[in-house]
Amino acid sequence: MELFSIQPKQTTSARQYRFLWLAAIIVSLDQFTKIIVKLRLPLYESKVVWGDLILLTHVQNTGAAFSLSLGSPEINRFFFITMIMIAIVFVVYLLYRATTKLQLISFSLIIGGAVGNLIDRVLFGYVTDFIDVDFPDYIMQRWPVFNIADSAVVISMCLLILDMIIHRSPEHASGSDSQQKIDIP
């Protein structure tokens, strides 16, 4: 009874972009939490969430991950806005070429995280970070402060590694160069 089917047929392109709602949720949640932090927590002050393990600490990051910087805030702003826009275009291309649901989800999370931080850089010239986590002193004294957008990108990277492990074809495991295409239902 194809004639009475309620579900529209999806083209390949429509299937590739069906998880972009995740990007919209990440951007919304990221911007909402940053607004709350800016309104409720003075700059460079902290609020205890769970002992010394988790704090909310309001910082402004004009640099990149771990507050890496190119020197001046103006150079940082131009450089990072340009790099984020290039990265978004590349990830949209990867999204179009994705072959598994896990890849679709991961690329959508990356897009959401990138757009969330891009909004901050364009509007303010810095990114608001506020999640402050302490790890036992194995790596460093405290992990650099981060935000929801950063978390989405890190989670997506973990999901992509998982996808590579799960969907590794037997040909790749034995060293063959042939690629297996996985159809996304």
Q: In what order do the strands lie in the sheet with 54-61?
A: 46-50, 54-61, 127-133
Number of domains in the chain: 1
For residue 1, is pLDDT > 60? no
What's the domain range around 155? 18-167
Per the domain annotation, does 130 fall within a domain? yes
Taking the model in full, what pTM does it have? 0.81
Q: What is the pLDDT of residue 129?
A: 97
pLDDT tens-digit readout, 121-146:
999 999 999 999 987 777 677 888 99
163 is catalytic: no
CA 58/CA 176 separation, integer angstroms:
50
CA 144/CA 57 separation, integer angstroms:
10
Catalytic residue among 30, 120, 132, 150: 150
6 — pLDDT class (breaks 50, 70, 90) = very low
Per the domain annotation, does 184 fall within a domain? no
Per the domain annotation, does 13 fall within a domain? no
Per the domain annotation, does 69 fall within a domain? yes
Catalytic residue among 129, 137, 163, 177: 129
Average pLDDT of the chain, as a whole number: 85
CA 1/CA 163 separation, integer angstroms:
36
52 is catalytic: no
pLDDT tens-digit readout, 16-67:
888 999 999 999 999 999 999 999 999 999 999 999 899 999 999 987 765 6
Amino acid at 50: W
Per the domain annotation, does 175 fall within a domain? no
Per the domain annotation, does 180 fall within a domain? no
- 116-153 burial, b for 16+ CB within 10 Å, e for fewer? bbbbbbeeebbbbbbbbeeeeeeeeeeebbbbbbbbbb
Residue 112 contacts residue 26 (beta carbons within 8 Å): yes
Per the domain annotation, does 179 fall within a domain? no
Contacts with 127 (C-beta within 8 Å, 6 or more apart), sequence order: 60, 61, 62, 117, 120, 121, 147, 149
Per the domain annotation, does 34 fall within a domain? yes
